[in-house]
Structure 1
Amino acid sequence: MHTVAERWEWLEPHVVVVGPEDDRPRPAALLFHGCGGMRAHLPRYAEAAKAAGWRAFIVDSYAPRGWSRTFTLTTVCTGLVLRGYERAGDLLAAIQGISARPDVDASQLAVAGWSHGGWAIMEMMSGEPSPGAFGVADPASVDLSGVKAAWLAYPYIGPFAFNRMKAWRHCPRVLALTARKDHLTTVRNAEMVNAMIRNCGSEVESWVADGTHAFDEPTNNGPMRHHPELTEEALRRFRAFLGDAAPHA
């Protein structure tokens, strides 16, 4: 089993970094893809973070594991492997590793997750960091106090998300994006989860977008349909959310 530091050493070569071309410490947004892996919409969010004065780090959970998109669509997306509470170890490693960079302000971090990535964020926030939890040997070694904001884009909160109503141990500011036509959850279920997070002490902004799951991804797959106009609105809200979290970036 990896330590957190070993997990970061494993992940770091596959992280895409986008940001202003300077070396001063800046707020950092950590972006975590959905179960389909690295897709074309994530660099657009990274550019939105850059425009807000942030550095963005797109973390690929699949390349270090040698997993193809075909494999993950049939295993991760169906809940057979790497459930959110297991992937949370990647988030902890990224938080610790990116916080140590001299060009990052470790006191101003945002985590952003789409679908499966949002599930992993929620598991990290709610789970007990006992040895071996989240698939890493020393999860308690990671300080979450620098995480000031969480962007949850249509997070998976279905049957395998056993802890979706469990109180968070760290409660940053949250923007919770729910897709009204999401085939994986109802708006009512999402709002119940949002209310739980709000009751923990988080400031939670809830946006119900009139689209399908993964509407901001430029593909049409099954019940999911790309919605260009809603995508532009999501990008605008993401940039504004980061701007509010660190107005002097």
Structure 2
Amino acid sequence: MDDLKRRWARLEPHLTVVGPDDDRPRPAVLLFHGCGGLREHLPRYAEAAKAAGWRAFTIDSYGPRGWGRAFTLTAVCTGLAFRGYERAGDVLAAIQGISARPDVDATRLALAGWSHGGWSIMEMMSADPAPNTLGVADPGAADLSGVRAVWLAYPYIGPFAFNRMKPWRHCPRVLAVTCKRDHLTTVRNAELVNAMIRDCGAEVESWVAPGTHAFDEPTNNGPMRHDPDLTEESLRRFRAFLTDVAPHV
């Protein structure tokens, strides 16, 4: 089993970095894709972060593992493999690795997850970081104190998310995006999860977007439908959220 340092060594070559063209320490947002892997909408969020003066780091969880889209759609998206509590080690390793960069202000970090990525973030936040859990040998070695905010875009909170109602151990500011026509959860279920996070002491803003799951991804697959106008609103809210978290950059 990887420790955090080895896990980061595997992830880092597949990292995509977008940000202002300088080398001074800036706040950083870490982007975690959904179960379908890297898709066309994440670079738009990275650019929105850049426009707010942040550095954006998109973490590819599949490239280091040699997984293609066909495999992940049939194995990960169905819950057969690589559930959120296993991928949480990638989140911890990215926090540790990116915090060490000289061009990052490690006291001003944000995590952003879409669907499976949001699930992984939530598992990381709620789990007891005992050795050999969350997919890594030393999950407790990551320092979460610099994580100031979390963007949860229609996170998976279905039957396999066993810990969705478990209190978080670190409670930063949260913006939770729920889709009114999400086939994977009801708005009521999402509101219960958001209320639990609030009870931990976190400030939680909830936006119920009038669209389907993955409305911001430019594809139409099954019950999911792309909504360009809603995507623009999501991008606007993402940039405003980051600007509000770290206004002086």
TM-score, reference length from structure 2 = 1.00
Offset of 1:6 from its aligned partner?
0.3
Matching residue of 2:114? 114
Partner SS state of residue 134, structure 2: helix
C-alpha distance in 1, partners of 2:21/2:82? Answer: 35
Amino acid at match of 1:226: H
Amino acid at match of 2:248: H
Pairing 1:55-204 to 2, within 5 Å after superposition: 55-204=55-204
Q: Does 1:221 align with 2:211?
A: no
Per-residue CA shift, 1:170-221, capped at 9, x if unaligned? 0000000000000000000000000000000000000000000000000000
Matching residue of 2:237? 237
C-alpha distance in 2, partners of 1:87/1:52? Answer: 28
Amino acid at match of 1:245: V
Q: Output the aligned Cα RMSD.
A: 0.3
C-alpha distance in 2, partners of 1:137/1:192? Answer: 32
C-alpha distance in 1, partners of 2:174/2:132? Answer: 27
Per-residue CA shift, 1:31-86, capped at 9, x if unaligned? 00000000000000000000000000000000000000000000000001100000
Partner SS state of residue 113, structure 1: strand
C-alpha distance in 1, partners of 2:23/2:179? Answer: 37
C-alpha distance in 1, partners of 2:245/2:83? Answer: 29
Amino acid at match of 1:205: E
C-alpha distance in 1, partners of 2:174/2:195? Answer: 11
Per-residue CA shift, 1:139-182, capped at 9, x if unaligned? 10000000000000000000000000000000000000000000
Offset of 1:107 from its aligned partner?
0.2
Partner SS state of residue 81, structure 1: coil
C-alpha distance in 1, partners of 2:31/2:211? Answer: 21
Partner SS state of residue 130, structure 1: coil
Partner SS state of residue 49, structure 2: helix
Amino acid at match of 1:60: D
Partner SS state of residue 134, structure 1: coil
Partner SS state of residue 112, structure 2: strand
Pairing 1:3-42 to 2, within 5 Å after superposition: 3-42=3-42
TM-score, reference length from structure 1 = 1.00
C-alpha distance in 2, partners of 1:83/1:128? Answer: 17
Amino acid at match of 1:153: A
Q: How many residues align?
A: 249
C-alpha distance in 2, partners of 1:210/1:3? Answer: 41
Amino acid at match of 1:234: S
C-alpha distance in 1, partners of 2:135/2:34? Answer: 19
C-alpha distance in 1, partners of 2:42/2:20? Answer: 17
Runs (4 or more) in structure 1 with deviation over 2 Å come to: none
C-alpha distance in 2, partners of 1:202/1:243? Answer: 18
C-alpha distance in 1, partners of 2:135/2:124? Answer: 11
